[in-house]
Chains A and B, each alone.
Chain A
Amino acid sequence: MRPLRALLRSVVCLLVLASAPADAVRPDEVLADPALEARARGLSAELRCMVCQNQSIDDSEAPLARDLRLLLRERLVAGDSDAAIRSYLVARYGDFVLLRPPFKASTLLLWLTPLLLLGCGAILVFANLRRRSRAPAPAKLSPVEKAQLAELLKHESADPH
């Protein structure tokens, strides 16, 4: 499976790159302030390289990814917050740029399915376990039943067919 992914990725990215392969995060992009640079890396790991196959701009070698990396570093240096940069990019490229989709009506099921399934599954399992653990109860006879059984057995032994 992976060869295909690698193949697709290389085809898509290299077509865009033509014959001048660049690199993910090049030395000239790195910010001098380590705190800002760490924020930049964190942000870019959550942003999609839109011309690539499911790659973040942090990983991607495409020129577009480099442009975005430079852009968000510019905004960081200018003092923008992470949220401001994200919403700026969403305004430009749409939700597609976010690798973590926003929580809204159209992604409700995406985010809630795991929780719903876990809840429903837990209820089912609980109900099932209760039924199962209740099942052995008939194994214990009530005193009345015991007496009846003793009676029956007495008859059996006394009156063999």
Chain B
Amino acid sequence: MIVETGHYALVLAFSVALFQTILPLWGVSRRDDGLIGTAVPLALAQFFLVLLSFAALTYAHVASDFSLVNVVENSHSAKPLIYKISGVWGNHEGSMMLWVLILALFGGLAAVCVPAMPQALRAAALGVQASIAAAFLLFILVTSNPFARLDPAPIEGQDLNPILQDPGLAIHPPLLYVGYVGFSIAFSFAIAALIEGRLDAAWARWVRPWVLVAWIFLTLGIAMGSYWAYYTLGWGGFWFWDPVENASLMPWLAGTALLHSIAVMEKRDALKIWTVFLALLAFSLSLLGTFLVRSGVLTSVHAFASDPTRGIFILVILVFFIGGSLGLFAWRAPLLKPGGIFAPVSREGALILNNLFLTVSCATVFVGTLYPLVLESLTGAKISVGAPYYSWTFLPLALPLLALVPIGQSLAWKRGDLLGAAQRLTVAFGCGLGAAVLLLAAVRPGPTLGVLAVGLAIYLIIGAFSEIFSRLRGRGAGGARQWVGRAFGLPRSAWGTALAHAGLGLSVLGLAATGWGVERILPLHPGESVEVGPYQVTLIGLFPRQGPNFHETVARVSLAANGQIFGTLEPSKRQFTVRQMATTEAGIRTLGLGQLYISPGEQNGDGSIDLRLYWKPLVTLIWGGALVMGLGGLLSLSDRRIRLGAARRARNNRRALTPGQPQPAE
């Protein structure tokens, strides 16, 4: 009964989404307030229906209702509860449900937040948002129904893929999807602005917080996924330039560009057309990512043949929304007036360069991901585009961009002073250069690129705060107390920017440090020891252990520094009983910012076991940096000028101001 309710709610949500697409947009074209007014209640109704449907599916998974195909194929009664819940989206149908749920959630939030927006603009945006929802709800209902029954119901399920039985599954997809789908709001508002033919700094103020939210979640989602791969896959790799990873990197790059250009648009009323284009691009790439992953086109081109309806259905959605939005853009964008005058050397100018590098690197990832598919379908020739391609193309684009970050931050809006910016960055640049030179002297011969990257990272981290420093100093001298007071007085978005850029620097530092990693691959007998970087690892012994739905062989090792034992690790090989699959559970110990990483391999006839042992200095900074970036975003979001609903207060404040009184400069 609950399952039928969920299924019914899903069908109902589809029809509500259809109404929500047609009525408000019709109302906007006829300037009919009654029709425009339907947008908000319909958006809320759609959200609650999708939520109800999702809850029903979750219930079926938690209760192990094996009359559902989806539950049978992806669950098992002995599975721990957390994986029963996260298993809801650990499969194709469920993950599409999560996608649509988040889409509806954003629609609902856009309906109730940002109260000061013109009703027609909001209605048009909600209509566009609903059209996306309708397309994907139809996709779920027609090709990927999670509520399909199975008769007779089996006694037991087939269990979830063991690799997915990990806390990562509970966190990573929701974070990533909030990021992906969050860009839909910017997309919908961009379409609405194109339909309305009106685009100004106020639009940027309404949309900017949504972009920021999506960007924060996407950043965290990608970092979380990367860490998950790192500890799961058993050899300590964290980024593989895999097409599925690229599918999430492309919206991130476009979204990062959007985040910067929309700031220019809000502050200076410039880059308007470009910002709208990026808003369309970011979500189009999210759609493309969904298509690439969900259609199965990436496994091989032939996966299409195994289930052509899904792939072709999403392809149709993709062509409709991307083609339609770009067509609308080409038609309507010339009507929008460009605005905002600035000198080439200015913060605007630097942000344009930022956008140039980000979009070109995004295009590089795009070409690298799709080229093999296109080439094979056109000529039949098979090529591989892997990590080395991106080291040759993506890195050369990323390095100048990174070098530009502190410079852009040090330039003033409208007209900047390059020499002054360079002076403000002397300390940062000096520290970076000094670190690189010292390292080079210390480790020669060593990884030269790593040394360069360390210098760049330190320059980035210190340079990120140079703007804050010069703003504090610019307000006169004074004791420590005044400085702290002034530091609190600076807008939070300034701190957010500094923190996010410093986070980027931390990630680069973590990446650079991989050059100093230590790897040992060897068989160990119980009692034998091996040096791994500054530590000694001793194999204590091997023993079997039983888990809830697996059994494992544990290799217990002790860890020592300078002969002093400080802990043990228990890396293991797991054998999952139902699926007959093996996984490797690496043993990881965080020491300072680095990690000892031990992965067990084959057991040999002579009683030894093959071990892969790594010492990875500063490796946690790679993901820690992303966390700091997200924190910076959050801090910016809490800035009262950016916060959702800020527009209303700003309007009230403006009303309080006497007319003609100049607005504050920032």
| A interface, CB within 8 angstroms of B | 1-12, 14, 19, 21-27, 30, 45-46, 48, 53-56, 59, 94-101, 106-107, 109-111, 113-114, 117-118, 121-122, 125, 128-130, 132-133, 135-136
Contact = CB atoms under 8 A, between A and B. Distances in A.
Given A46-B388, A114-B360, A109 B163 contact: no
B522 interface: yes
A1 B344 contact: no
A95 B382 contact: yes
Contact of A1 (B241, B289, B522, B523): B289
Contacts of A109: 367, 371
B356 A23 contact: no
B251 to A, nearest CB: 11
Contacts, number: 175
Nearest to B89: A3
A53 B242 contact: yes
Contact of A6 (B232, B248, B356): B232
Contacts of A48: 384, 386
B398 to A, nearest CB: 11
B382 A133 contact: no
Nearest to B352: A125
Contacts of A4: 244, 293
B341 A1 contact: no
B521 interface: yes
A113 B389 contact: no
A11 B521 CA distance: 26
A101 B360 contact: no
Contacts of A128: 352
Interface string B576-619: 00001111000000000000000001100000001010000000
B127 interface: no
12 contacts: A2-B226, A2-B245, A6-B163, A7-B161, A26-B521, A59-B240, A99-B386, A100-B389, A107-B383, A114-B367, A129-B344, A132-B341
B59 interface: no
B244 A2 contact: yes
A5 B602 contact: no
A102 to B, nearest CB: 8
A27 B293 contact: no
A23 B235 CA distance: 9
B387 A6 contact: no
A125 B353 contact: yes
B176 A27 contact: no
Nearest first, the 6 closest Cβ-Cβ pairs linking A and B are A99-B386, A100-B388, A23-B601, A2-B225, A5-B244, A129-B344
B580 A118 contact: no
Contacts of A135: 341
- Dominant SS at the A interface? helix
Nearest to B522: A27
A46 B384 CA distance: 10
Contacts of A8: 244, 298-299
B520 to A, nearest CB: 9
A12 B293 CA distance: 16
A6 B164 contact: yes
Given A114-B367, A121-B360, A56 B387 contact: yes
B661 interface: no
A131 B442 CA distance: 50
B163 A25 contact: no
Contacts of A111: 393
Nearest to B299: A8
A7 B164 contact: yes
A56 B172 CA distance: 25
B375 interface: yes
Given A23-B612, A96-B384, A30 B582 contact: no
Contacts of B379: 106
B359 interface: yes
Nearest to A60: B235
A14 B582 contact: yes
B342 interface: yes
A114 B356 contact: no
Interface string B155-169: 000000101100011
Interface string B28-67: 0000000000000000000000000000000000000000
Given A1-B173, A1-B293, A113-B364, 8 more contacts: A1-B244, A3-B161, A23-B612, A30-B521, A110-B371, A110-B389, A117-B360, A133-B344
Nearest to B290: A1
Given A1-B293, A3-B90, A45 B387 contact: yes
A45 B364 CA distance: 21
Nearest to A24: B235
Contacts of B245: 1-2, 5
A73 B120 CA distance: 68
A148 B382 CA distance: 72
Given A3-B173, A53-B299, A99-B388, A26 B610 contact: yes
B243 interface: yes
Interface in B131-174: 161, 163-164, 168-169, 172-173
A55 B387 CA distance: 9
A2 B222 CA distance: 9
Contacts of A45: 387-388
B622 interface: no
A2 B248 CA distance: 9
B389 A2 contact: no
